[in-house]
Amino acid sequence: MSGEPRQLEIHLRVNSKRGNHMVHPLAVETVSTSDTVQYQREEAKHYRKRFPWLIPLFVVANIVMFVITMYVNNCPHNSVSCIASFLGRFSFQPFKENPLLGPSSLTLQKMGALDVSRVVHRHQGWRLITCMWLHAGVFHLLANMLGILVIGIRLEQEFGFVLIGLLFVISGFGGSMLSALFIQSNISVGASGALFGLLGGMLSELITNWTIYDNKLAALLTLVIIIVINLAVGILPHVDNFAHIGGFLTGFLLGFVFLIRPQFGWVNQRYAPLNYSPGRAKPKFKKYQCILWVLSLILLVVGLSVGLVALLRGVDANDHCSWCHYLSCVPTSKWSCHTEAAYCESNQLGNQLNVTCSSNGKSNTYYMQDPTSSQIQQLCTQLCS
């Protein structure tokens, strides 16, 4: 402690003996001002907010990867027509092929999109991770990055970059794995699984630290409404809701493991002055927090292990759940949920290219000299859509 003089408080104790009153001074030590200040500093340090840098770095990495993807895509060279052609090789594929203002599916596949056939048959398991750093278009990128910034920065300030970084990556992996188990005919990209993992982590953090929050019912209701609305959007076509659900469940379980907070009583006790003696030692965590921690860790390890083994063995989860496909898309009179990869037959005669779609039988003739495979694939996609 500091060199300040210790404060002494003089109490007077009066003893009576045979009518004679004797006065004895009794010195009692109290907590010094310096002890109190040090205690307050240590306790404030425990609850300090960290500087968030990892989540913004993740956002920058996603933006950089999108720019690189568009550079590789090189629409003017590989496609018949492009949107925003003044951007040169960074211009976008036609709306009919990609309404999100982005690259072609072939480019995304080349850059590391989630392709189940390649994961299972070519042992490219790394696609379960790389797909979360790619995006299908500008709109897709902006929506995900805005959500990640709003939610992720708050969590990183509270819990630090290590825990939130792990939560982000593992949730993205969990979302990719569930998506691969149910959606096996199309490629998938995006950080939405990781984003929903952050949402799930926020929800479980609120539940496991329930006793230390004020206005918790209002916070819980608001968070649940946000999650339900975002999951409901996933039933639209061309939205991979299985990645959302998988990421959310993974993040929800990880929140009980990573985002558990000690009780206020334990914190006060830990940073109390040395001469402070509490009546009863406070436990760091409550019993329900420990129970949720153990159960969540078991469910997480078992779920990820079983899912990964099933995926690598080529299991199609739809064979074991006939109704689960409705979780990702609900067909209506306005749209269909049945999507297949476009396959076409093409014949080149001079500068005439004849393309026939195998799925709907449509055919068309194009006048092109030495078309590339990417150009033919784009024409095929437009013809089959």
For residue 346, the model assigns a pLDDT of: 81
In the predicted model, what is the mean pLDDT of residues 192-205? 96
Q: Is 365 exposed, middle or buried (0-12, 13-18, 19+ CB in 10 A)?
A: exposed
Q: What is the pLDDT of residues 149-165, one digit of tens each?
A: 999 999 999 999 999 99
Say what the pTM is.
0.81
Say how many residues make up the chain: 385
Mean pLDDT for the stretch of residues 14-27: 43
The residue from 91, 135, 244, 328 that is catalytic is 244
- What does the pLDDT average to over 246-267? 89
Amino acid at residue number 316: D
Q: Tell me what pLDDT residue 63 has.
A: 98
For residue 127, give the 3-state DSSP assignment. helix
Q: Which residue has the higher pLDDT, 253 or 42?
A: 253
Helices (H) and strands (E) in the chain, counts: 14, 5
Marked catalytic residue, from 188, 192, 204, 296: 192
Confidence of residue 368 (pLDDT cuts 50, 70, 90): confident
Active site residue 192: yes
Phi-psi region of 97 (alpha: psi -120 to 50; beta: other; left: phi over 0): alpha
Place of tokens 């027509």: 81
For 303, list phi and psi in degrees, rounded to 5. -65, -50
185 given a catalytic annotation = no
* Cα 154 from Cα 156, distance rounded (Å): 6
